[in-house]
Copies of this chain bind each other. A is one copy, B any other.
């Protein structure tokens, strides 16, 4: 399509001057870069009148729609259906699972008046929906024939936050939450790990965001879960970002909400349930990971505009008409080939457009000028490496597709190399402390399993156990990094967002 007007042409005057550099060694500078990249690219804005909330603008929402589609496809391929559950959670529902209410009550926004009257019972704006799903599952599940029940919803949720960071931490955010009920513990556990793998595959394949996976320690468990698993990405400043979680809820919610079923053997049994969620948070992580001094670098698989075509002005009206004709044809041809392509035909200078689309992170730019057209070729420029090449008009859509794949693979490899280079085995606490004060990263260290050590490490280094990897005992027994007690597993520590 031609330049859409939905968001206007960008005359917002507040954004003068250069993008701040992406200086990941300085927290404040890095934050400045992040906020500037998001605001200038018109991805999102804060909503100051309600602290902690934000608007996702069309460019950002289009990105989220592409991410949603890629994730939703995976949910459906693994047998899940979407539904929509109520926004309001009665206070009494939250209270039915003791750990759950303790974990969430401090963050809840409460509706206390409605329709001109005070309410008899406060209603929570859902911070998560285990209790609502539990209520309905207890009605919908009668016999083993109804199992497994595999439902997901895409929804807004609210958790009152003191700090606000675009996408990473906001009071209201968009997410999906899957809730499933099973006949046996084993089935529930399989589901929990299956969805963790779906998240990891989505992050790595679609967002070019390498992740580590594993189980959370008891202190980081979801309130009400028997076990919580997570994928964690490593941001360029060496901090971890929890990017998706999957919980085995055991029979805790089944007990609290009477989710039972008549089994084949004629006995009534409690179900085993799971839940798993991924939010707009991972969108923020993806932006932090790939961007550079010029702005965003979006992974081709989810970029709203994979390729921007910039016509280069010609001197004569005849040459201009030829260029415009070729641009129009290319938009159609590349669009028909399934690419998300856009021609920027505004009256700005080409240099301005180059900057603008680098800021917005379009993975490829195609320049079409009179000399290109005369030579039956166009110029393609990669956003990630700035590599330029001339491509014959004949076969341009094949080559464009190849280059998009190349960009996707390259930014993943770069992020993977960074993660690998910043994951270290650490054997002594002095080194651990030093690394956490300097370049940070993931530290693989022995841990005795005591929450006292976990707490002390957090207090002294701000590092927490991000996950206990599935191969945590592969190195055999060792000594706890903190208290030197015997330890059987190496766990992954990092500071985190």
Partner-B contacts on A (CB < 8 A) = 4-13, 45, 47, 49-50, 53-58, 60-62, 64-65, 79-88, 90, 92-93, 105-116, 122-123, 125, 132, 135-136, 139-143, 145-151, 155-156, 158, 160-162, 172, 174
Complex CA gap A13/B155 in Å reads 30
Q: Is the CB of A49 within 8 A of B90?
A: yes
CA–CA, A84 to B44, complex, Å? Answer: 9
- Docked pose: A369 CA to B65 CA in angstroms: 43
**Known contacts A56-B83, A58-B81, A114-B108, A11 near B146 by CB under 8 Å:** yes
Known A9-B145, A109-B113; further 4 A-B contacts with Cβ < 8 A: A8-B146, A11-B143, A12-B146, A58-B151
Which residues of the other chain, B, contact A150 by a CB distance below 8 angstroms?
A: 5-6
Which residues from chain B contact A10 at a C-beta distance below 8 Å? 145-146
Q: Given that A9-B145, A149-B6 are known contacts, is A82 also in contact with B110, CB under 8 Å in the complex? A: no
For the complex formed by this chain, how many copies does it contain in all? 2
A87 touches B172 (CB 8 A): yes
Contact A81 B6 (CB under 8 A): yes
Q: Which residues of B contact A122 (CB under 8 A)?
A: 113
In contact, A84 and B61 (Cβ under 8 angstroms): yes
A160 x B6 contact (CB < 8 A): no
Beta-carbon contact of A55 and B136 below 8 Å: yes
Residues of B within 8 A of A116 (CB): 105-106, 160
A344 CB → nearest B CB, Å:
14
Q: How far is the CA of A109 from the CA of B85 in the complex (A)?
A: 18
A136 to B61, CA, bound (A): 15
Bound Cα distance from A35 to B247, whole angstroms: 35
Distance of A4 Cα from B77 Cα, bound (Å)? 11
B7 lies within 8 A of A54 (CB):
no
Chain B residues with CB under 8 A of A151: 6-7, 58
Is B49 a contact partner of A135 (Cβ separation < 8 A)? Answer: yes
B79 and A6 contact, CB distance less than 8 A? yes
Please tell me if the beta carbons of A79 and B5 are within 8 angstroms of each other in the complex.
Answer: yes
Question: Would you call A145 and B11 a contact (CB within 8 A)?
Answer: yes
By a CB distance below 8 angstroms, the chain B residues around A60 are 83
Residues on the B chain within 8 Å of A54, using CB? 86
Inter-subunit contact B149/A88 (CB<8 Å): no
CB-defined contacts of A55 to chain B, threshold 8 Å = 83-86, 132, 136
Q: How far is the CB of A359 from chain B (nearest CB, A)?
A: 17
> A50's contact among B47, B90, B140, B160, by CB below 8 Å, is which?
B90
In the bound complex, CA of A472 to CA of B252 (Å): 63
* A107–B113 CB distance below 8 A: no
The smallest C-beta distance from A79 to any residue of chain B, in angstroms, reads 6
6 contacts between A and B (CB under 8 A): A5-B149, A7-B151, A12-B139, A57-B83, A61-B82, A109-B114
A142 touches B11 (CB 8 A): yes
> What separation, in Å, do the CA atoms of A93 and B161 have in the docked complex?
22
Q: Is the CB of A8 within 8 A of B86?
A: no
Residues of B within 8 A of A146 (CB): 8-12
Residues of B within 8 A of A64 (CB): 84
Please, which residue of chain B has its CB at the minimum distance from the CB of A84? Answer: B56
Max chain B CB contacts within 10 Å: which of A64, A90, A108, A140? A140
Is B61 in contact with A174, judged by CB distance below 8 angstroms?
no
Q: Shortest CB–CB separation between residue A354 and chain B, in angstroms?
A: 19
Q: Which residues on B sit within 8 Å (CB–CB) of A172? A: 86-88
